[in-house]
Structure 1
């Protein structure tokens, strides 16, 4: 026994673990530090030992305890402990225990698995330090935590033209002292977890998680999903903490992180709106393995909750935009043919008339009607008539320029608004449409033809007058035998 260990030989201790092998391992590693070490296999047994005689140090090994089952019992044990020192041994994949038990009383902690020599050092520190080496937040730390909270909140309130929410959250987290790299993982509706944003500074400026994790999407299938805290948090909904990088059992990962100055890795789940998988996770890579004070855990939990709120608001805004786009489409589009409906066509024509006058540019309007369309409905039925309307609309739309607009003005009648088009060019366009429709195959009724009128906007003419002239020209085309083109009279 070393001289330092002899100084602790007068202390008593209680070690709680439901696992017999863990109790034996702790006794072998740290038993010589105590005059008497009691090994408890249950919370009730530990509580009985505390009630029987005071202990210098209570060590709770959280491996195999379950928060949903054991939290109340363990929190009650810590509360009954009073001011005596407590050391929590917390598995790296279940760091949620730390903020949960901090609510009962602050305690020192170490992340497991932990090497025996380091465990002995940690136990000595708890025995040497009044209060048991509980992580404490000094004034500077508290100010930094308040600043972090404010930055995360500001990231949620940024204007629409600011960088994306994921990047803003990374920027806010990266400004917290000690953070070398911050990243945001997002769970997509299809269950695909992907890396949305990452930022690094100093030695981690060149760190790319997509390279480190061997992929940047479908990360729940990544080879390191069990070892990297950010992925663990997103997959399990539990905070994950490596305070030594070797704890995850992936030497290559630890080596690559150390090469960028990383000493500690933390993953925080971004909670869902209700039960179910989290929305994603925040990943923090830090330059030192310092223990996190209870205030830090509380603030980081608030930041994750604010991130969830921000993502929810972003999703709501996206849904609102999609709904608005859908409503706009429904209100401006003909449901059968997918072209502009009459009301929207009238608005577009008014706009083009004003533009043509302002810039003194030509504007042509074409009006065409499917010949003998009533006979198609009567002979083949309305479903075939609908197919004919859709086919004609698709055929004409394929022949138009990107600046032209096809409008279903009613029944079997259509308009084509053709900006920067003269009457002569309009006649050429009409002839192309007439020929294209005549050649188009209509399922169920062979072929159809159209009669077309063409008009160019006069200098002082309004939209209503232009429509009357072009429809009169179309009527003349029908009287002339159909399947032909007529130019409107001035």
Structure 2
């Protein structure tokens, strides 16, 4: 075995020295390289039995191609990646170039020597078998099904957690989402009873300010936008976190960012806690990446659905509401009157309709200007709504004319309501023109009467109130 040779690649002199101290005795010759070019040159002269790439301090945006070429040149010969726990995105990226083993760092000297010795003795890279592939297909299908029928981000997150917990070995799944104000919160979790991320992380919202944001893989993934993996709880560097994980039987933790629509901060992250540490195969990494893309797609669908609901509600409001006063417009008022007439007939209860307009409103506009006239209309509408019941409906039927649909109201009660409205408006102060008055007509729905007929009778009563001197109430004739 000592006839074997190896190349160790790291841009850090101290790491090269530490690796030499820990592992040089495992090989007949150990070459230390400080760059991908140097490693490539060594490989051209002598094909080593093992290539070890320490990914700490390499930059994906700069070094990915060169390191990928090294893996590809190995043509299936053993490659061991030493991957920082906060940089697990390197693993699927380099697995795309060829088979690799990996170990998550930091590792002490003994653990490093054991990892290298194991990979030297077992050069074959584990791959998914038929049963494993079926499990991955089932997981992808369950995640896809979680997208169906999700009404909001919370229900979608709960469904995602339930799907992820079906993957063998997963003890707990959680979803972190970036919310308004650009802060992170725990949206959903499921799994081992008693394992609560809120207790483990000491909070469930504003997690980008959490003390453990640099140590827990789920928070690291959401904050940094890259996968994070710890194969031993102590690799987090936080003894309390490691103790909490071990207390619940967690041996490995994985955080996967949920990608945003474009460049920038991810939407959040998926958190997976496993009962046993194991190397993830390329197929498993590919499936997990698919899961994060599906999660992002589902969140986009939910957001689009909520935006459509908002736009529909806004369109409905615009099409049914008078823009100046905020009360129902004429068209919507006619629809509401027909509904109330049907309800009154069905349950045999009285229904009253009140009609009123502002006395000498043209003079207000001519004397004080249209802005003051608009203020008068808004004040009249607000004052009227303040004295009406919750069941009463105020409608601006045109110009300075309004209707009040009053369910469960007889003619006598309608007269009392009209007088209450008249007095309130007469006493209301209007900036720019002091006061205005209104004239009102009241009618109760007849047994076989239509909405048009009821409206005509109230308008006729309103006209009589005008002729009677204004600022008064008249009851419609049958």
Q: Residue 203 of structure 2 aligns to a residue in which SS?
A: coil
Partner of 1:267 in structure 2?
A: 255
How far residue 443 of structure 1 moved from its aligned partner, in angstroms, is: 1.1
2:75 & 2:134 partners in 1: Cα distance?
29
Q: Residue 8 of structure 2 aligns to a residue in which SS?
A: strand
Go from structure 1 to structure 2 and tell me whether the alpha carbon gap of 1:220 and 1:266 turns closer, same or farther (over 3 Å shift).
Answer: same
Matches within 5 A, 1:62-461: 62-131=55-124, 134-158=125-149, 164-201=155-192, 205-461=193-449
How far residue 163 of structure 1 moved from its aligned partner, in angstroms, is: 7.8
Residues 150-178 of structure 1: CA deviation (Å, up to 9, x unaligned): 10011112375998111111110011111
Structure 2 residue 466 is the aligned partner of structure 1 residue 478: yes
1:378 & 1:83 partners in 2: Cα distance?
91
Partner of 1:36 in structure 2?
A: 29
Q: Residue 141 of structure 2 aligns to a residue in which SS?
A: helix
Structure 2 residue 43 is the aligned partner of structure 1 residue 55: no
How far residue 231 of structure 1 moved from its aligned partner, in angstroms, is: 0.9
1:260 & 1:422 partners in 2: Cα distance?
69
1:209 & 1:422 partners in 2: Cα distance?
60
Q: Residue 430 of structure 2 aligns to a residue in which SS?
A: coil
Structure 2 residue 9 is the aligned partner of structure 1 residue 21: no
Alignment length (residue pairs): 478
Residues 321-346 of structure 1: CA deviation (Å, up to 9, x unaligned): 11100100000000000000000000
Residues 394-424 of structure 1: CA deviation (Å, up to 9, x unaligned): 1111111111111000001100111111111
How far residue 83 of structure 1 moved from its aligned partner, in angstroms, is: 2.4
Q: TM-score, normalised by structure 1?
A: 0.95
2:154 & 2:364 partners in 1: Cα distance?
56
1:135 and 1:294 in contact (8 A); partners too:
no
Q: Residue 220 of structure 2 aligns to a residue in which SS?
A: helix
Q: Residue 334 of structure 2 aligns to a residue in which SS?
A: helix
Q: Residue 404 of structure 2 aligns to a residue in which SS?
A: strand
Q: CA RMSD in A?
A: 1.4
List gaps (5 residues or longer) in structure 1: 1-7
How far residue 216 of structure 1 moved from its aligned partner, in angstroms, is: 1.5
How far residue 10 of structure 1 moved from its aligned partner, in angstroms, is: 2.2
How far residue 80 of structure 1 moved from its aligned partner, in angstroms, is: 0.6
How far residue 136 of structure 1 moved from its aligned partner, in angstroms, is: 2.4
2:359 and 2:437 in contact (8 A); partners too:
yes
2:9 and 2:52 in contact (8 A); partners too:
yes
How far residue 277 of structure 1 moved from its aligned partner, in angstroms, is: 1.1
1:44 & 1:162 partners in 2: Cα distance?
47
Q: Residue 164 of structure 1 aligns to a residue in which SS?
A: helix
Residues 414-438 of structure 1: CA deviation (Å, up to 9, x unaligned): 0011111111111111111111111
2:56 and 2:83 in contact (8 A); partners too:
yes
Q: TM-score, normalised by structure 2?
A: 0.98
2:76 and 2:99 in contact (8 A); partners too:
no
Go from structure 1 to structure 2 and tell me whether the alpha carbon gap of 1:194 and 1:160 turns closer, same or farther (over 3 Å shift).
Answer: closer
Residues 452-490 of structure 1: CA deviation (Å, up to 9, x unaligned): 111100000000000000011111111112111111111
